Amino acid sequence: MCTIPGLHEHFSWKEKLYLNNTKQISRFTLEAAMLSLVFLFTPIISYASCKNDSISVHCGKTPTSVFDEKGTLWIAFAQQGHVYVSHSDDLGKHYTTPIKVNPNPQKIYTNGENRPKIQIANHHVFVSWTEKTPGRFTGDIHFSRSINGGISFEPVKTINDDGLPIGHRFDAMTVTPSGTIYIAWLDKRDSHAAKQRNQEYAGISIYYAISTDQGKTFSNNIKIAEHTCECCRIAITSTGVDNATVMWRHIFTGGYRDHAIATLNQEKPTALHRATVDQWKTDACPHHGPSIDMTPHNSIHLAWFSNGDLHKGIYYGNYSTSLKSTNNIISIDHSPHASHSQVVEFHNIVWFVWKSFEKGQSVLKVRYSLDKGVHWSNADIIASTQANSDHPLLIHDHNNIYISWQTTNEGLRLIPLYVDSENTN
């Protein structure tokens, strides 16, 4: 279905696995460059005009994409006060009529770092988002599920359980292989309490809740850590059969806004560990959260941004879950335009995507590693736009990996990064 004529003989994923030294990576770089050129000239999926306010994945805000087990593409997005879910059986050529998740309109956070989330497990569709409530930097974390294949959604639940009209924002959701749903978010309850006591308090906190009955009910809120940065997305990934790992921008002693990481289980989190040492001492809002992906080798791929004394720009690192430290730190792009990176390992290739700005255009760039993040290809531009654009998201089904990217001029694009011709019809 996705094979690009004339290239499949160059891009068998099995062949790539044998290309594991620098010289061979260079050859692969050349091939990837060819592939990029092909994608640049591949006609994009037609983009419906948004002038009539039609509800669609192209016109809505911050569409988040994910594949289910069968390869169906699911999208959650926000538009006109509602979160909608739509799906596509033909890789985004056609989408189903969007289904409203929250029946009553809400102000929904859609600034890129804050966006509706969607996960599919056991034929259920799980959606979380943050509602903007009255007040400044305030919000509630909501969840709803569909147990009939996305035909309708159950009544909306509020996950934060403190009942306070304060900040609960930047939700992040993952589902473990055992089916446990983890939702983590940034929470102001501890800073609010400190303020009530007239005490100084750096940043806010990070909390989570879990569901072990496929989203029917959720646990009480559990604190992960205090003193987090207030305005960056949280990265979350499932770990092992039943746990999850979160990475976030933390405020370490001295006001350093570097990253922390912790593993969550059904009862409590592990102690936090420092994932990055960038020495970024600032009292600014980066609006620039990290990305993580679990590897099969007891380590976690990290992607992050810093403007610290030690590191400036977009970085890759490999966090060892046994040593509790990050190794193999690679500067992916040090230019000030590099932003909103994501890292995913797929079929033994580590993919790294981010946004940049070149020659008056926003561009998507990709680098990849064939040896678990030790060596990296050169950067390739694989898409561009003249107008505003959302953050890029790396998603994959069983056989292929794509970037999901919505841009004002082109709508939602699904850009293939890798075509496994042997496993594609």
338 CB-near residues (< 8 Å, 6+ apart): 305, 313, 314, 332, 354, 355, 356, 365
Q: CA-to-CA distance for 75 and 349, rounded, in angstroms?
A: 25
Closest-CA residue to 417 (of 346, 332, 330): 346
- Read off the tokens for 47: 């983009």
The answer to whether the CB of 165 falls within 8 A of the CB of 134 is: yes
Residue 255 CB, nearest distance to another protein (Å)? 10
Please tell me whether residue 191 adopts helix, strand or coil conformation.
Answer: helix
Category of 51 on φ-ψ map: left (φ > 0), alpha (ψ -120 to 50) or beta: alpha
Q: Which is nearer to another protein, 64 or 114 (CB)?
A: 114
Q: Which is nearer to another protein, 124 or 355 (CB)?
A: 355
Residue 86 CB, nearest distance to another protein (Å)? 23
Residue 312 CB, nearest distance to another protein (Å)? 8
List residues binding another protein (CB under 8 A).
Answer: 111, 136-137, 230-231, 282-288, 305, 307, 312, 336-337, 339, 355, 357, 360-362, 385-389
The answer to whether the CB of 96 falls within 8 A of the CB of 86 is: yes
Q: Which is nearer to another protein, 300 or 303 (CB)?
A: 303
The answer to whether the CB of 138 falls within 8 A of the CB of 167 is: yes
Closest-CA residue to 61 (of 415, 408, 410): 408
Residue 411 CB, nearest distance to another protein (Å)? 16
Closest-CA residue to 401 (of 91, 10, 27, 6): 91
Closest-CA residue to 226 (of 245, 210, 206, 200): 206
Residue 338 CB, nearest distance to another protein (Å)? 8
Q: Which is nearer to another protein, 106 or 362 (CB)?
A: 362
Q: Which is nearer to another protein, 85 or 314 (CB)?
A: 314
Q: Which is nearer to another protein, 102 or 228 (CB)?
A: 228
Residue 359 CB, nearest distance to another protein (Å)? 11
